[in-house]
Chains A and B, each alone.
Chain A
């Protein structure tokens, strides 16, 4: 666990997101500090992924304010692009680029967006592949890797942009059970290094052991925010208790 130094990384104030008549986020407010690991859990359709996706604006929010690393999200495309380069995102379906090699998947954005020379970008990529434990896969294509390996490449790809915030959107949900741990291990190491992380996940073990805070969402609202310890042992809200009963009974 890392000590919070008090600097605010993400601030959401009364954020609203609607899809047609459906309200996915209803006046959501939360503040996340640098170095914090926050796990968001909740039943499906509760707005967890949408919350993540408004932070890097894969979904535009319809109301409220979102401030990332001191920059408020507006219509200004430059701010948006800056925020996106500073936030890494890992998807449930990996979303690696199938027509590019693993190495190119990782070096593409640093070269094109950060304008890092090719050689440097490749060195960085090899370091990151080493870090996620698959340095020998650099010249393969994503389709030739297992799901767990692909997800680790996706993490390396996001890290290559040297982000200040990493967001994980159900990173282990599409994996075969035997591959989940290799991905969680990488995430734990990342947390131990002090990365600010927001994770939507159903891995309760990860939440209990790694998260500083756990956020429980339901029906587009944040129902409860508490420390991991409190959350699992003494939930305050009835809805939280009900959800925990459902997922922890078997």
Chain B
């Protein structure tokens, strides 16, 4: 049985004692504490003041659609919604089966749902035009200029402006999107509940293998569902997620194959695996992306065939093979961490090489390097920002386009736009790292020694 150590919460008096001993024990230390706490507080105050009272979230609010799916055809958005529901449902069920407590999860979903679903109610946008008169001084001459200034005004419904600002303008006004978003949150909550009911069978290999199979099938399913919509209209966050998902999916298997290739008994496989890894890792991703973009007939028929594929698929190809080279090295480290005795025990029991790796060595090796693998995945996710450099319209590029197309109403609100871009990158990175630590603690069961 597991033994739990309970940590008694410290009383206020104890905390004061601790602070005196650790933060104010010398004059220098006390000064350092005051300065660092003070500057952190100041920074926090300025940030909160900006977000709640100074920023203009109107431009974000009217461009939500562009942020998430860009110019994806309106009639086809059901494809994206199906994908969203598949992902969200699977996340929720998986969480319910393997996570411990439902309550903090449900509270978090409730808070986000309340913000997104209620703060946007009654929101309307209009563009007001004011006449203005400016006096401009240049080269010693004064000039009076008159004109019309367009300003985006957001009617915020019931929410006071600061509360509305909490959502950074991402609250959803009432309409079909609102209904679908409500369903997304319901799925997140309901799926976790279903998972909780299933959790009593979680040690059953059928449940484990079933959920695993669904996860593996998820990404190909989502990509297949996009056939029928020209890849030219894959844009914004949707494009980033798609390239990332395909990249992650294939890079894992490519990495696995390369790692196994490195320890192959066949010389030719070993050498080509090492050669591949060293060559691919030696150049930055951006360079490979540029190669993929501009390759024409330089490699003869191979180049021609490659360049005839849609750019987005070529990019996915690069992400998968580039990521694979890194994953291979990570898994190799894991393979080296499995003691030799594990292989010997497998062999002495008569397991074949394939059984030995599939059942004994790889599960332990991959478990040991989950944090590093997740780290690579997070890096790969943020690398999707590079798509902007090869004329694909990712979130970053879209935000620039939004700004350049709407300068008249943007009213200098470019910083707000980039905050939302950062937020989109952050949310996915954060979920990935959460997924990593959950996988670690769930899969680490046997590691206690």
Contact = CB atoms under 8 A, between A and B. Distances in A.
Partners in one complex: yes
Interface of A: 56-58, 81, 84-85, 87-89, 91, 93, 95-101, 108-109, 112-113, 141-144, 157-158, 161
Interface string B280-308: 00000000000000000000000000000
Contact of B350 (A84, A91, A142): A84
B344 A97 contact: no
Nearest to B448: A143
A248 B421 CA distance: 77
B447 A98 contact: yes
A99 B446 contact: yes
Interface stretch (B34-42, B82-90, B245-253, B359-367): B359-367
B445 interface: yes
B28 interface: no
A233 to B, nearest CB: 35
Interface string B342-374: 101101111110010001100110010000000
Interface centre among B341, B344, B352 (most CB of A within 10 A): B344
Contact of A84 (B342, B348, B445, B447): B348
Given A91-B341, A112-B359, A98 B348 contact: no
A237 B344 CA distance: 35
A53 B101 CA distance: 49
A96 B345 contact: yes
Contact of A113 (B339, B341, B351, B367): B351
Contacts of B349: 84-85, 108-109, 113, 157-158, 161
A161 B345 CA distance: 13
A55 B292 CA distance: 54
B448 A99 contact: no
A108 B359 contact: yes
A141 B363 CA distance: 15
Nearest to A89: B348
Contact of A98 (B344, B347, B364): B364
A153 B188 CA distance: 43
Nearest to B443: A99
A142 B446 contact: yes
B355 A112 contact: yes
A109 B351 CA distance: 7
28 contacts: A57-B347, A84-B347, A85-B349, A87-B348, A88-B348, A91-B341, A91-B344, A95-B339, A98-B447, A98-B449, A99-B364, A99-B367, A99-B446, A99-B447, A100-B446, A108-B349, A109-B350, A112-B359, A113-B350, A113-B351, A113-B355, A141-B446, A142-B446, A143-B446, A158-B348, A158-B349, A161-B349, A161-B350
Give chain B's interface secondary structure class.
Answer: helix
Given A97-B360, A141-B448, A143-B446, 8 more contacts: A85-B349, A88-B348, A91-B345, A95-B339, A99-B446, A101-B446, A108-B349, A158-B348
Interface of B: 339, 341-342, 344-345, 347-352, 355, 359-360, 363-364, 367, 445-449
Contacts of A91: 341, 344-345
Interface centre among B345, B349, B364, B448 (most CB of A within 10 A): B349
B447 A95 contact: no
A98 B348 CA distance: 17
Interface centre among A85, A97, A101 (most CB of B within 10 A): A97
Contacts of B352: 81
Contacts of B360: 97
Nearest to B349: A109
B348 A143 contact: no
B342 A95 contact: yes
B357 to A, nearest CB: 13
Given A98-B364, A143-B447, A58 B344 contact: yes
Contacts of B350: 81, 84-85, 109, 113, 161
Contacts of B367: 99
B446 A98 contact: yes
Contact of B341 (A56, A95, A157): A95
Closest 4 A/B residue pairs (Cβ): A85-B350, A95-B345, A95-B341, A109-B349
A97 B351 contact: no
Contacts of A58: 344, 347-348
B347 to A, nearest CB: 6
B1 to A, nearest CB: 8
A112 B350 CA distance: 9
B200 to A, nearest CB: 15
A93 B341 contact: yes
A16 B348 CA distance: 21
A99 B359 CA distance: 10
B384 to A, nearest CB: 33
Contacts of A57: 347
A161 B350 CA distance: 9
A144 B367 CA distance: 18
A78 B60 CA distance: 67
A109 B345 CA distance: 10
Interface centre among B352, B359, B363 (most CB of A within 10 A): B359
A84 B350 CA distance: 5
A158 B347 CA distance: 12
Given A93-B341, A141-B445, A144-B448, A99 B363 contact: yes
B359 A143 contact: no
A97 B445 contact: no
A58 B344 CA distance: 7
A161 B446 CA distance: 23
Contacts of B446: 98-101, 141-143
Contacts of B359: 108, 112
Contacts of A141: 445-446, 448
Nearest to A85: B350
Contacts of A93: 339, 341
B351 A95 contact: no
Nearest to B364: A99
A57 B343 CA distance: 13
Contacts of B342: 95, 97
B449 A143 contact: yes
A142 B344 CA distance: 17
